Amino acid sequence: MMKRKYWILLITLLVILLLDQWTKYEVEKRLPYRETIELIPHFFNLTHVRNPGGAFGLFGTKRGGTGIFVFIFFSLFAIGVLLYFFLKLKNEKPLTFAFSLVLGGAMGNLIDRFRYGEVIDFLDFHLFSYHWPAFNMADSAITIGLGLLAWRLWIEDRKRFKRRA
């Protein structure tokens, strides 16, 4: 029988990958490139943009070239490291779920890099003059997963500190 952590990984990966790829497909099909639909005035838009770079458009000045291979290599490397640490995990549900979210998000964006040479982004938040870089469902999964990991490490650190005191 398959361990619980592998079920959590499998289900989370499938949900994140399906949600991520479906939303990107719908944006690509229904919203022309660089077009915007204002959903909540002065706060939230759907905007079809492409990101040839890393997180938040870092290092992404143009499409193609050797940069795509660098991003694919680092994505594959990061997925490998995450899988290594995932395999070392005991059956601890919060960490298993957090790692699964990050893996699912990384794989969703990697699929885009293989398919298009860049990542489709569309969630566009802004408040007054502050504009957050557009992102997608995979980015959201990565952010939530990393937040859960950070929270769990913080809790463990507090427990360790209390034991010493």
pLDDT by residue (tens digit) across 108-144? 999 999 999 999 999 999 998 899 999 999 999 999 9
Q: 101: closest CA among 51, 67, 153, 141?
A: 141
Catalytically active residues are 121, 139
What is the reported pLDDT for 64? Answer: 58
Half-sphere exposure (Cβ direction) of 134: Cα atoms closer than 13 Å:
20
Banded model confidence at residue 55, pLDDT cuts 50, 70, 90? low
What is the reported pLDDT for 93? Answer: 85
Query: Which two tokens mark 81?
Result: 């490291």
Give the amino acid at 155. Answer: I
Half-sphere exposure (Cβ direction) of 157: Cα atoms closer than 13 Å:
6
CA distance 105 to 64: 22
What is the reported pLDDT for 129? Answer: 87
Structure confidence by residue, pLDDT tens digits, 79-110: 999 999 999 998 788 899 999 999 999 999 99
Give the amino acid at 14. Answer: L
What is the reported pLDDT for 61? Answer: 53
Burial class from Cβ neighbours inside 10 Å (0-12, 13-18, 19+) for residue 131 reads exposed
Cβ distance 82 to 141 under 8 Å? no
Burial 94-114 (b: 16+ CB within 10 A, else e): ebbbbbbbbbbbbbbbbbbbe
